[in-house]
A = this chain, B = another copy of it.
Amino acid sequence: MLEEKKIPYKIYLEEDEMPTSWYNVRADMKNKPAPILNPATLKPITVEELEPIFCRELAQQELDDTTPYIEIPQEIRDFYKMYRPAPLVRAYCLEKALGTPAKIYYKFEGNNTSGSHKLNSAIAQAYYAKKQGLKGVTTETGAGQWGTALSMACSYFDLDCNVYMVKVSYEQKPFRREVMRTYGANVTPSPSNTTHVGRKILEEFPGTTGSLGCAISEAVEAATTKEGYRYVLGSVLSQVLLHQTVIGLETKTALDKYDIKADIIIGCAGGGSNLGGLISPFVGEILRGEADYRIIAVEPASCPSLTRGKYVYDFCDTGKVCPLAKMYTLGSGFIPSANHAGGLRYHGMSSIVSQLYEEGYIEAVSVEQTSVFEAAQQFARIEGILPAPESSHAIKVAIDEAMKCKETGEEKTIVFGLTGTGYFDMVAYQRYNDGEMSDYIPTDDELEASFAKLPKVE
């Protein structure tokens, strides 16, 4: 047997090892995700029908479930080089502190000003908007990472950027707004009085702290009622998951470079795009019968779409202006309690991730907020990176799995996605430091009430 190569603390790929194409896992899926539907006709939507909302090439990517590799345009690859490759980090210190025989790796996406993986898709979407000659784009943001990422991308390509920010995040993260402003974006707290759908939601739920679903509806309305604008989205959509496969492709190349075989791959799941992007190349191997992995999606117990949702057609937004997708969902009217992982407060789940979960390629677990912050603090103190609350869901389960290895003595290799940093989440950390964090979980009755309002399709 060959001697094991010494694994550095951080594996950085060389520029010529970085991916030149995104990987479209749908091409290798025998059972494709169900088609998204036109909300007016309830028929599968066409590229032409998507074009009033999305840029042309992004609409094509959204519906393309047959092309396995889609080339990353050179302009995007050049931008990627400014903040990528993201390191694959061996958590030597965490392993030692836990006393586990497990080998723990994390793919760290936080080394850029947006603080997360969101920039991977933001720059792609801004590029296609620019290429199409648009004036600008509109979007929603939850935790603020996506809005920041899009602001950066729009600034780079000189596009106008209008961001609807979920009200609870807007209030908890005032400095996010200033970052976006520094990059030239306009930021509006959602629900707002600037759109029809926002006014309607405010009437129905006066004191609402907002949700991604609401903010999406407002951003879509703003895009479709303004000449030269399109809507862009930071998660859920298959196009976003496609762009995020740069995470998984880099991870796989880094592992292969050192002959490392992952046993367990863990990611947090809100809309599902970072998880989907991380796991796609590995799922592709499973689908093609080339390898096997245990894959775990981690979601907050307060917004448990995979573990407690229904796999049905639903609207992607609260205002019901977007296409319908078949997905694990809590109902588009579900507004989760104001937990601090704002980026995971979405009622549904990527249709790709949903289909893979339905077929058993992915497991899912839900975890409570306080236990997530315990893991976050532990990780920060040991590994030196203060993680985003969203990312900390994956940390929590990675630690749990490593502790199971300690019990059994198994030397499993665990890879998890550390999607971002928590530098703009200090209000949440303060709550945790002060012992004031709540762990509200929706009751069965609340979920049933939400399910009752699901659209009847087929």
Contact = CB atoms under 8 A, between A and B. Distances in A.
Interface of A: 8-10, 12, 14-15, 78-79, 81-83, 92-93, 111-113, 115, 119, 152, 155-156, 174-175, 178-179, 181-184, 377, 380-386, 421, 423-424, 426-427, 429-430, 433
Nearest to A93: B82
Contacts of A382: 156
A409 to B, nearest CB: 25
Given A113-B421, A152-B381, A179-B429, 7 more contacts: A8-B81, A113-B386, A179-B423, A179-B426, A182-B380, A183-B381, A184-B381
Contact of A178 (B12, B78, B430): B430
Contact of A15 (B9, B83, B113, B430): B9
29 contacts: A8-B14, A8-B15, A12-B12, A79-B384, A82-B93, A82-B383, A82-B384, A83-B384, A112-B384, A113-B384, A113-B386, A115-B423, A119-B384, A152-B384, A155-B381, A156-B382, A175-B423, A175-B426, A178-B426, A178-B429, A178-B430, A178-B433, A179-B426, A181-B429, A181-B433, A182-B381, A182-B429, A183-B380, A184-B381
Contacts of A384: 79, 82-83, 112-113, 119, 152, 156
Given A181-B433, A426-B178, A81 B9 contact: yes
Contacts of A112: 384-385
A382 B152 CA distance: 9
Contacts of A427: 175
Most chain B beta-carbon neighbours within 10 Å: one of A78, A92, A155, A175: A175
A9 B421 contact: no
A318 to B, nearest CB: 30
Nearest to A108: B111
A372 to B, nearest CB: 14
Given A8-B14, A426-B175, A182 B113 contact: no
Contacts of A179: 386, 423, 426, 429
A293 to B, nearest CB: 27
A14 B81 CA distance: 18
A423 B426 contact: no
A393 to B, nearest CB: 17
Contacts of A115: 423
A445 to B, nearest CB: 36
